[in-house]
Amino acid sequence: MVALTLVAVLMLRESLAYVVRATDPALALRIDPANSEVQASRAEQLLRESPANRAAAEALARRALRRSPVSAAGARMIATARDVAGDPASARRLIAYAASLSQRDLPTQVWLIQDAVQHNDVPRALHHYDIALRSSDASKPLLLPVLVSALSQPAVVAGLVDTIAARPEWAPGFLAQAAHESQDMGGLAALIARLARRGYPIPIAVVAESSRRMADAGRYDLAWNVYAAAHPQAVRAAIHDPGFQRLGSIDGPFAWTVVPGNGLSVEQRRYGAQGALSYRVQTGAGGMVARQLLMLAPGGFRLSGAVPERADGSAPPALRLTCAGSGQPIATIAADKPGFAQPFVVPADCPAQWLDILVDGGDNPLGASGAIGGLKVSPDQAGR
């Protein structure tokens, strides 16, 4: 009975020390001075407090490693102490030993990442990023923002293509974070385009958010490159999804975006072999119901389309073209015939254009309803 009680006390002391070590390693060491993990934690604390504690920290870490030769934390702390002492060769040998003991020891992987970065060894740094991100969920909040910020470096982008092409489980989360947070639009666009060429399935939400942010920043060519990487059949000088098949999906600015408004409703509807945007608008309501970003070169074009349905007394829908960014008007085209077409000219200082679909409920007590589809832009044969 006494033996069982003693074992229970020892187990309780070890457990308590292990819990306390995260917040107070010195107290944890007093609770359980023979615990190798606690010894390593206290050694780390001593070095953080001052480099002058190097000798004491190293001695404590060596005790930890002698007690538990498989303690990655113990080996890592000796390596850190040796590095502080100006002995990088011993430090690297010991940190390699620590990494061989456990790939899940995040500080060891961070040590190796920092060492690789200091030596401008991008492939080795990314290798240890990959190990850390695969091995520890705790690494993601620490390491993913650093990788996102590193997209400004072409060598990192190139290395990430190879790393992500292997489809590690952390890649979708990284791409989503990069789409929302990357400040280097060129690096982000290059990463997405190269991954797409390697056959990596870029999440549509990443394409949408990246291209949206690039378009908002006026980086229209980059936005198009991202969209085209995910939609290789897309034609630059065209209206995309003319049949409104993906109406309301989150595809980014080069697809139809439904613009919500009071008293307005839209849906995709089939009219024979053609798809169209079907709308209904209440009396007195109206405005933009959908829009898409175009990439037309300067020059003359013709916009055509079809109105397969329009309720009696309803005002016709209209199409408005403006220069993206500046808002400079290009043309407003009334879709007032079953088949309509009108020329327009894109000015020289207008690299991208918004195409908006407008509807008007007017003063008809029944409001307005109808449909518009078959939209197409083509070079103006009159040479405008």
What CATH number does the domain containing 356 carry? 2.60.120.260
Instruction: Looking at the structure, tell me whether residues 226 and 300 fall in a common domain.
Output: no
pLDDT at position 112, please? 87
- Of 212, 230, 248, the position where a domain reaches its end is 230
Weakest-pLDDT range from 77-81, 282-286, 332-336, 354-358: 77-81
Instruction: Looking at the structure, tell me whether residues 38 and 129 fall in a common domain.
Output: yes
> Using CA atoms, how far apart are residues 245 and 275, in angstroms rounded to an integer?
7
Q: At what angle do helices 122-135 and 106-118 cross, to 10 degrees?
A: 170
pLDDT at position 354, please? 98
More confident: 80 or 210:
210
Mean pLDDT, rounded, of the chain: 84
pLDDT at position 12, please? 33
Residue 341 maps to a domain: yes
- Of 188, 213, 230, the position where a domain reaches its end is 230
Instruction: Looking at the structure, tell me whether residues 80 and 172 fall in a common domain.
Output: yes
Mean pLDDT computed over 233-256: 91
Segment 309-333, tens digit of pLDDT: 998 888 899 999 999 999 999 999 9
Number of domains forming the structure of the chain: 2
pLDDT(4) > 70 = no
pLDDT at position 37, please? 61
Q: List CB contacts of 304: < 8 A, sequence separation 6 or more.
A: 339, 340, 341, 342, 374, 375, 376, 378
Band of pLDDT at residue 9, cut at 50, 70 and 90: very low
> Using CA atoms, how far apart are residues 273 and 280, in angstroms rounded to an integer?
22
pLDDT(46) > 70 = no
More confident: 20 or 160:
160
Q: List CB contacts of 231: < 8 A, sequence separation 6 or more.
A: 240, 254
Instruction: Looking at the structure, tell me whether residues 169 and 41 fall in a common domain.
Output: yes
pLDDT at position 14, please? 38
Band of pLDDT at residue 57, cut at 50, 70 and 90: low
Q: List CB contacts of 196: < 8 A, sequence separation 6 or more.
A: 202, 229, 230, 232
Residue 235 maps to a domain: no
pLDDT at position 367, please? 85
Structure tokens belonging to residue 96:
């390699």
Structure tokens belonging to residue 81:
């102490």
Residue 240 maps to a domain: no
- Of 190, 215, 230, the position where a domain reaches its end is 230
Instruction: Looking at the structure, tell me whether residues 194 and 276 fall in a common domain.
Output: no
Weakest-pLDDT range from 2-11, 15-24, 149-158, 321-330: 2-11
Segment 180-207, tens digit of pLDDT: 999 999 999 999 999 999 999 999 999 9
More confident: 45 or 260:
260
Mean pLDDT computed over 114-119: 88
Weakest-pLDDT range from 36-40, 41-45, 104-108, 364-368: 36-40
User: pLDDT > 70: what percent of the chain?
Assistant: 80
Instruction: Please report how many Cα atoms fall inside a 13 Å half-sphere around the Cα of residue 212, on the Cβ side.
Output: 15
Instruction: Looking at the structure, tell me whether residues 211 and 265 fall in a common domain.
Output: no
> Using CA atoms, how far apart are residues 361 and 25, in angstroms rounded to an integer?
71
Range of the domain at 347: 257-379
Residue 246 maps to a domain: no
pLDDT at position 2, please? 35
Beta strands 329-334 and 353-360, pairing class = unpaired
Mean pLDDT computed over 111-121: 88
Residue 252 maps to a domain: no
Residue 306 maps to a domain: yes
Structure tokens belonging to residue 330:
């290009």
Assess contact for 157 and 193: CB atoms under 8 A. Answer: no
In degrees and rounded to multiples of 5, residue 345 shows phi and psi of -125, 125
pLDDT(19) > 50 = no
Residue 241 maps to a domain: no
Residue 102 maps to a domain: yes
Assess contact for 298 and 352: CB atoms under 8 A. Answer: no
Instruction: Looking at the structure, tell me whether residues 224 and 265 fall in a common domain.
Output: no
pLDDT(63) > 80 = no
Assess contact for 206 and 188: CB atoms under 8 A. Answer: no
> Using CA atoms, how far apart are residues 47 and 60, in angstroms rounded to an integer?
11
> Using CA atoms, how far apart are residues 191 and 201, in angstroms rounded to an integer?
13
Weakest-pLDDT range from 97-106, 108-117, 153-162: 97-106
pLDDT(34) > 80 = no
More confident: 29 or 204:
204
In degrees and rounded to multiples of 5, residue 24 shows phi and psi of -145, 80
Instruction: Looking at the structure, tell me whether residues 131 and 267 fall in a common domain.
Output: no
Instruction: Looking at the structure, tell me whether residues 177 and 90 fall in a common domain.
Output: yes
Instruction: Looking at the structure, tell me whether residues 313 and 219 fall in a common domain.
Output: no
Instruction: Looking at the structure, tell me whether residues 137 and 266 fall in a common domain.
Output: no
Assess contact for 248 and 269: CB atoms under 8 A. Answer: no
Q: Nearest-CA neighbor of 301 among 363, 355, 242?
A: 355
CATH number at 61 reads 1.25.40.10
Instruction: Looking at the structure, tell me whether residues 164 and 21 fall in a common domain.
Output: yes
